[in-house]
Amino acid sequence: MPYTDQTSEGDITQRFDAITSHIPGVLFRCHPTPGYPLMWVAGKSQETIGYTHDELMHSIGGAWSTILHPDDRIRMLTELQNALDAHEPWQIEFRMVSPVGKVVWVKGYGGGLYSTDGELQALEGVIIDMTAQMAEKSNWQSRAQEARERNVRIVAATADILETLQSLSVLSINASIEAARAGDAGRGFSVVAQEMNRLAARAEDTATAIRRATGSNDQPNPMQTGLSSIAPLREEPAA
């Protein structure tokens, strides 16, 4: 016995409405003409972008492109047209503006419907609210920028420390030279010079660790540069 579908048009509509009521976004189909006037719309449009189905279909003339954020309109429509020209689906993040002026971040998924000869007949897809995700992304970017700025300040402070250590190391070398020239009378200076040199080396190691942790270890080390220039002085006491 052949199967006959007894589902009425009303039942199909109820099932469709039941399905779309669980989707956190807006389903749509629109004409492939300027402004992309809507053919139909379903889902949680008021919760997502602040417009009821009736407002989308009539109050804005059905042309949903008119409620795109001005700063995103050209980019969004260009990406959409590029996808249509390539007969490919689209995934586009953009902003829409609610009736009360609230900016809503959304992500649109969809594609074109084409005839057998490749003519574009309609566009259909879904728009999902992305406001919370974009707010979190913006917050993360702000924290990342703050971290980068802190690193810059740390690196600058480290450079100052290294310059100070360079001067300290030079003083310790000079003290060693004078102690060697003074013989037994200069032993006290020699001890002080050794301690100064030890402290300078320890602090320089700490500063280098900071530079490595902040990703700036490839920058010139002013202390090493300075020590290289005065290296011959280390040999003078032995002369």
Kindly state the tokens that stand for 92: 């586009």
pLDDT at 91 over 90: yes
pLDDT of residue 137: 65
Distance of alpha carbon 93 from alpha carbon 91, whole angstroms = 7
Is the model's pLDDT at 235 over the cut of 50? no
What's the rounded Cα separation, in Å, for the pair 49 and 28?
A: 13
- DSSP-based three-state secondary structure for 168: helix
Which one-letter DSSP state was computed for residue 67? Answer: G
Q: List the structure tokens of 41.
A: 């719309």
Tokens of residue 59, six digits: 């109050």
Which region among 8-17, 63-72, 164-173 has the lowest average model confidence (pLDDT)?
A: 8-17
| 8 Å CB contact between 197 and 191 | no
Name the β-bridge partners of 106.
94, 129
Confidence of residue 35 (pLDDT cuts 50, 70, 90): confident
pLDDT mean over 130-147: 70
* Rg of the chain, C-alpha, whole Å: 36
Q: DSSP 3-state assignment of 121?
A: strand
175 and 186 in contact (C-beta within 8 Å)? no
77 pLDDT higher than 80 = yes
User: Above 90 in pLDDT, residue 6?
Assistant: no
73 pLDDT band (50/70/90 cuts)? very high
- Reported as a single tens digit per residue, the pLDDT across 203-224 is 666 667 666 766 665 555 544 5
* Chain centre distance of CA 163: 35
Chain-wide mean pLDDT for the chain?
Answer: 74
**94 vs 79: CA distance, rounded Å:** 11
Top pLDDT among 101 and 194 is at 101
**pLDDT digits 0-9 by tens, 168-190:** 666 666 666 665 666 555 555 55
